[in-house]
Amino acid sequence: MQQSEEKTVERISTNFNRLKKRLERQVGKAIGDFNMIEEGDTVLVCLSGGKDSYTMLDILLNLQKRAPIDFRIIAMNLDQKQPLFPEHVLPGYLDTLGIEYHIIEEDTYSIVKEKIPEGKTTCSMCSRLRRGVIYRVAKELGANKVALGHHRDDIVQTLFLNMFFGGKLKAMPPKLRTDDGELVVIRPLAYCHENDIIRYANRREFPLIPCNLCGSQDNMQRQNVKQMLLEWEKEYPGRTETIFRAMQNVAPSQLADGELFDFKSLRAEKAE
């Protein structure tokens, strides 16, 4: 009996090590492919208390230890003053890591509840307000990079949201420059699958904090798109990965955007 239990523990440990290495490899590849982090960077890692941002910080700290370059990590959480928000959880966790962190208190919750009618989705306004605070704090702390915890599945969902409801062919880029040009936003989890992140977060037993403001809204279009993609994935395994690869293999001449391809000047060449 004891031998059987030991084998089970060993198998679980082996599977977790494989998962950890896979996530680290995917994050490392994303960083390399998009030149996300460079020598001397100060990276503000944004923590929401969810599985994605915990995993992002954990992987970045692991990679930092053996990276061939020197860069600084600062963790940040924005306390938006949501009711019953457990203010002690993140500071307690971050203290165990022994890293620099900042808890920023901004009552964006009241603003969102005041401006958005009951029953309407709050994510859009909440995101804009949160982004403004994050960018301001990043500049105050001397950071030049802001790391967000969006993963591959988030990026694909955003592609469909913009197509279905915005009439635009765009998603979340793994790396972008802010409008004022003073910061670069990076998404180190861009190549990571959500299921892997869930398994990793569960195994690491991160002290997760739910979003009471918008995370439980069943009428969000993002939830509908997510469900659609999950059903596709069940019927056709690998479809989400294929869609993500398609975003990296764009053919402007096969679309219809005259800003990206000069259709007006396109003419048949006369035979000699």
- Mean pLDDT throughout 187-194? 98
> What's the pLDDT at 119?
62
Q: Which domains does the chain have, with CATH numbers?
A: 2-251 (3.40.50.620)
Closest of 76, 57, 45, 98 to residue 204, by C-alpha: 57
CB atoms within 10 A of CB 20: 17
- Mean pLDDT throughout 200-226? 78
CB atoms within 10 A of CB 270: 5
Using the predicted structure, report yes or no on whether residue 1 has a pLDDT greater than 60.
no
pLDDT in tens, 252-270: 999 999 999 999 999 998 7
Spatial strand order of the sheet with 101-105 comes to 101-105, 72-79, 42-47, 145-147, 184-186, 175-177
Give residue 259's Cα distance to chain centre.
29
> What's the pLDDT at 7?
55
Structure tokens at 201: 């977060």
Residue 37 three-state SS: coil
> What's the pLDDT at 126?
74
